[in-house]
Amino acid sequence: MKINGNAIRPGMVIEHQGSLWRAVKTTHTQPGKGGAYLQVELKDIRTGTKLNERFRAAETVERAHLSQTKHQFLFADGDMYTFMNTENYGQISLNKDLIGEDQIAFLQDGMMVKIESHEGDPLGVQLPDTVTLTATEDGPVGDIDCHIHLMSLAGVLGVRAHCVPAATPYIAAPPARVAAWRDAMADDGGLRIGLAWAGRPAHPQDAQRSMDCAHLTPLAAMEGVSLYSLQKDKTTHPIAPELAAALTEDFSRLLENFAETAAIVENLDLVITVDTALAHLAGALGKPVWVLLPFAADWRWMRGRADTPWYPTMRLFRQESAGDWAGVIARLCAEGSTVW
């Protein structure tokens, strides 16, 4: 929509010199030899670059409406907000300090994302009572209200460490298989501990997150424990003879799928594992699990803490220096001696 240059007001977004600008401040001048004009301080909404420009009443500019597109989505990315048109996936990013508190990005029929504040948690989301998400291997589905990358959902929904939805257990093993393993596992009165010392060999960080299982042998010397191997792949990380001799049972050949692994874990008292799928499985089952982490751990474990908001029953044991698995196991055994 075109407007006269002297009609620009603070907060308006206009097209000028091939860019989109937000009017920050306006000053009217008195008529003079060249006539009256409006002095406008502009700020580029993409780059934050400032520009002082004069607009006379006879000039026209195109006023932009960024928050009125029928299918539009807003998400936060660092210090920027990005508006994404879900019809053509066109995007425009705005500096956070350039967006008014009352601007709303409408999605469709009651679905909207509203900017509530510049500070703290900026986004509030209102959705219908029922939202159905569908995914296919062939690409996007039709008749969708909006599109968002899966890893952006936590940010849009305002999930922080203090409010992670971590009620566990949220999965369960097949009851018949849990009962079968209960009957099959001998009850020797010891604390049943499942062990895994390596992840998928093809993982880019496998050399850092996996360990030589010989580091676990101090566990075999502890009284009142029964050790079970839950290590599925031993081709690149074979079991040390001294640890193999201390095992009550090696279940590796029986771990056909996650359901079977979960049924075994349900019959254990504790799982000790490196950062691999078993850690997440045990955490989701609500079982006690101690995770052994390298010095430069995956970002999901955050930094400087021995717990995780994702799994309330999980403990984290971190390397204090790169490659120091011996120190990790020493601290784990010291902890175990007081609680087992």
Does one domain contain both 218 and 245? yes
Q: Using pLDDT thresholds of 50, 70 and 90, give the confidence band for residue 238.
A: confident
Q: Are 96 and 122 in contact (CB under 8 A)?
A: yes
CA 64 to mean position of chain CA atoms: 34
Provide the CATH number for the domain around residue 56.
Answer: 2.30.30.30
Average pLDDT, rounded, for the chain? 77
pLDDT at 286 over 50: yes
Helix (H, G, I), strand (E, B), or coil: what is residue 221? helix
- Give a yes or no: residue 246 inside a domain: yes
Q: What confidence score (pLDDT) does residue 68 get?
A: 39
7, 115, 126 from 123: Cα distances, Å: 31, 5, 10
Number of structural domains in the chain:
3
In the predicted structure, residue 24 carries a pLDDT above the cut 80: yes
**Does residue 49 form part of some domain?**
yes
Report the C-alpha gap between 123 and 115 in whole angstroms: 5
Say whether both 253 and 280 belong to one domain.
Answer: yes
pLDDT of 224 strictly over 70 = yes
pLDDT tens digit sequence for 111-142:
333 333 333 333 333 333 444 545 555 555 56
CA-to-CA distance for 100 and 8, rounded, in angstroms?
16
Query: How is residue 194 written in tokens?
Result: 């499942």
The CATH code of the domain that includes 247 is 3.40.50.2000
Q: Does any domain span residue 17? A: yes
DSSP 46: T
Element (H, E) at 222: none
**Same domain, residue pair 28 and 124:** no
Same domain, 335 and 209: yes
Shared domain check, 58 and 80: no
Asked whether residue 207 is assigned to any structural domain, the reply reads yes
Q: Does residue 247 lie within any of the structural domains?
A: yes
Q: Are 11 and 31 found together in one domain?
A: yes
Question: Is 215 in the same domain as 95?
Answer: no
pLDDT, tens digit (0-9, with 9 covering 90-100), for 247-269: 999 998 888 889 999 999 999 99
pLDDT of residue 288: 97
Q: Are both 188 and 280 inside the same structural domain?
A: yes
DSSP, residue by residue, 135-150: --TTSPPSS-S----G
The strand ranges marked E within the chain are 2-4, 13-16, 19-28, 37-44, 50-56, 60-64, 72-77, 80-85, 91-95, 104-108, 111-115, 123-126, 191-196, 225-229, 247-250, 270-274, 289-293, 314-318
- pLDDT exceeds cutoff 80 at 319: yes
What distances in angstroms separate CA 334 from CA 76, 219, 279, 294, 295, one per listed residue? Answer: 44, 10, 21, 19, 20
pTM of the entire structure?
0.59
Digit-coded pLDDT (tens) for 54-92: 888 778 888 765 443 444 445 555 555 555 544 444 455
Together in a domain, 188 and 302? yes
Last residue of a domain, one of 64, 83, 113: 64
Please indicate, yes or no, whether residues 290 and 211 belong to a single structural domain of this protein: yes
pLDDT class for 215, splitting at 50, 70, 90?
very high
- 200: in domain: yes
The two three-digit tokens of residue 317, written as one number: 């044991």
Residues 42 and 187 grouped into a single domain:
no
165 lies in a domain? no
Separation between Cα atoms, residue 116 and residue 107, nearest integer Å: 16
| Cα gap 250→105, rounded to integer Å | 56
Domain of 51?
A: 2-64
Give dist(CA 263, CA 198) in Å, integer.
20
Last residue of a domain, which of 126, 159, 192? 159
Same domain flag for 85 and 35: no
Q: Is residue 48 part of a domain?
A: yes
Domain boundary among 125, 159, 193: 159
Asked whether the CA dihedral 237, 323, 261, 245 is positive or negative, the reply is positive
Region for 337 from its dihedrals, namely left if φ exceeds 0, alpha if ψ lies in -120 to 50, beta otherwise: alpha
